[in-house]
Structure 1
Amino acid sequence: MGHRNQSSVSEFLLQGFSQWPEHQHLFFGLFLCMYLITLAGNVLIFLAIIFGSRLHTPMYFFLACLSLADIGLSSSIVLKVLHNLYTQQRTISYIGCLTQLYFFLIFGDMDSFLLTVMAYDRYMAICHPLHYNTAMSPRLCVLLVSVCWVIANVIALLYILLIAKLSFCVVGEISHFFCDINPLLKVACSPTRLNELVLFFVGGPFLAGPFLCTLISYICIVSAILKMPSSGGGRRKAFSTCGSHLSVVCVFYSTVFSVYLSPPSTVPTKDIVASVVYTVVTPMLNPFLYSLRNQDVKVALKSLLRGKIFAS
């Protein structure tokens, strides 16, 4: 019997957390709490920036966009996880799998790109303060976010079109809790060489490139800060401004690299845990990392929660 094409495959099985069947209800409660915290935290940050006139600056505009991307990233993964845990099912339809992968790639890439744009914004603010207002104009900020969105969509669409051409002979069990590229390629019965080449030559640069740009920006930032006079609190304020963003960058890229740029793990749970961190935990922590060390965001959040959303 010949290989059936992809149109004959109606669904996949997600391994998820099936290796811990006795903890399914615990996982459901944990993921639900994390998702609600993610949703509430990022929505509050977004609303505080929209309605707080003091936060109408490039840095907070990018932070608002990051909050939306975090909501999208978490929603694209967690909602299906919650459904499967609640119903005790592990299936996902073929179309649902590709749709989940598409939005995961878009919002995951947007997170990476926005972190790089935010690093560039901090570089301009600290290293070239006299030219900052001119360089980081509202038009440029919108353009940067738009370019990030277009590139993320093009990359996601490219991957989806290539995967849609693959044949899946049987209903495969994806060794993950969501439809990610590498686990999905493992259950394909047609050659995946082209997909792997595109993943290496396209995905690699678009993952490592933003990280290197962010790293270079922070090398320049740290160098500029160390040249500041120690008196007057300039150094402390500059480090405080960048500290939150740098914390998010470290958590995000360390887990992403451990999954996509490290040799295949012989322990499947290692990749699952790392994936949970950057798809669920990081979007949940971002609002706290940015608000706890930022006085302007704290003031805006207090005004928002008190109903004074239009206060200046």
Structure 2
Amino acid sequence: MVYIITVTGNILIIGLVSTSQQLHSPMYFFLCHLSLSDILIITNIVPQMLQVILEEGAIIPLTSCITQLFFTGASLTAECFLLTVMSYDRYLAICNPLHYSSIMGARLCYILASLCWLLGFLMSFIGTWLVSELQLCGHHVINHFFCEFDPLLELSCSDTSIVEIAVFLLAIPVIIFPFVFVLLTYVCISLTILRIPSTTGKQKAFSTCSSHLAVVCVYYGTLIAKYMVPSRGHLQTLSKVLSLLCTVVTPLFNPIIYSLRNQEIRAALRKCIWMVIGR
């Protein structure tokens, strides 16, 4: 049910943005890519996870395991960069509204979205390639509900220190830098909103970025907590819970947060429903 609701909600957002003229803006353009990333993440995880639950374990070929690791990393990384770009878009719209249209044009939107996906696949490819070069031995049983980085390292009889250092260094530009950038942009946005004289103006400005801020807090909070908590030993269960939040719960929350808190999307949805009823 969670999987069906998540995919349906994100496809609905993509459909509304694509067909509604009032939603043809940079913010909703990036929201479409965020929804696409959520669909890729949960589709890559949940079918395999359901098989593991129903059969109390499942066999997966090594190539399929590495492929799942790659697409999971690519989707999560692309989402990190997309949330960063969306915060930059909100910063320009609120802190520099007079030049917003001239700066955030269609060409820049396509470039930024393409860079998010390109960097996502590139970063994930480097990490996945390093893991695939390890020599696996032992029982070949992954203590997890999908192929993830740490459980795969536990199967290796090679020296994994270089791989762990490399992946940690990759996480800095993927998680830390974007998170710091998002915090700085929202500090500037908050200061700008506080200088707005009217209460109505403050509420309108805050409503345009509150949904994105909620998604950022949920996503980065879960992601940072996951990679700060050791996954070995007695904390394996906590690591699995955090992985579940990153790959299943967050993609479920994104369309709910944006649809319930965004008046323009609700208005577009009502218009679409009335058009269907009218026909």
With the shorter chain as reference, the TM-score category is: over 0.9
Alignment of 1:138-287 (within 5 A): 138-231=106-199, 233-264=200-231, 266-287=234-255
Q: Distance in 2 between matches of 1:93 and 1:116?
A: 35
Matched, 1:54 2:57: no
Quick one: which amino acid aligns to residue 193 of structure 2?
A: I
Answer yes or no: is the 8 Å Cα contact 1:45–1:301 preserved in 2: no
Q: CA deviation at 1:89?
A: 3.2
Q: CA deviation at 1:308?
A: 5.4
Q: Distance in 2 between matches of 1:280 and 1:191?
A: 32
Q: CA deviation at 1:263?
A: 4.3
Matched, 1:39 2:3: no
Alignment RMSD, CA only?
A: 1.5
Q: CA deviation at 1:272?
A: 1.1
Q: Distance in 2 between matches of 1:306 and 1:43?
A: 19
Relative to its length, the structure with more helix (as a share) is 2
Match of 2:46 in 1: 78
Match of 1:118 among 63, 81, 86: 86
Quick one: which amino acid aligns to residue 94 of structure 2?
A: I
Mean Cα deviation higher: 188-197 or 61-70:
188-197
Q: Distance in 2 between matches of 1:167 and 1:43?
A: 40
Once the two structures are superposed, what CA deviation does each residue of 1:16-60 show, in whole Å capped at 9, x if it has no partner? xxxxxxxxxxxxxxxxx1100101100001100000010000000
TM-score where L is the length of structure 2 = 0.95
Matched, 1:98 2:30: no
Quick one: which amino acid aligns to residue 180 of structure 2?
A: L
Mean Cα deviation higher: 265-274 or 186-195:
265-274
Quick one: which amino acid aligns to residue 258 of structure 1?
A: A
Q: CA deviation at 1:286?
A: 0.6
Answer yes or no: is the 8 Å Cα contact 1:114–1:148 preserved in 2: yes
Higher RCO, 1 or 2 (CA under 8 Å, sep at least 6)? 1
Tell me how many residue pairs correspond in the alignment. Answer: 276
Q: Distance in 2 between matches of 1:267 and 1:218?
A: 33
Matched, 1:301 2:265: no
Structure 1 residues 142 and 116, CA gap change in structure 2 (3 angstroms): same
Answer yes or no: is the 8 Å Cα contact 1:101–1:181 preserved in 2: yes
Q: Distance in 2 between matches of 1:60 and 1:93?
A: 39
Answer yes or no: is the 8 Å Cα contact 1:39–1:71 preserved in 2: yes
Q: CA deviation at 1:264?
A: 4.6
Q: CA deviation at 1:305?
A: 3.3
Q: CA deviation at 1:91?
A: 2.3
Quick one: which amino acid aligns to residue 162 of structure 2?
A: L
Matched, 1:66 2:34: yes
TM-score where L is the length of structure 1 = 0.85
Structure 2 unaligned residues grouped into runs of 5+: none
Q: CA deviation at 1:180?
A: 1.1
Answer yes or no: is the 8 Å Cα contact 2:74–2:121 preserved in 1: yes
Once the two structures are superposed, what CA deviation does each residue of 1:170-226 show, in whole Å capped at 9, x if it has no partner? 332222211111121111111112211111212233211111111111011001101
Answer yes or no: is the 8 Å Cα contact 2:17–2:24 preserved in 1: yes
Answer yes or no: is the 8 Å Cα contact 2:51–2:58 preserved in 1: no
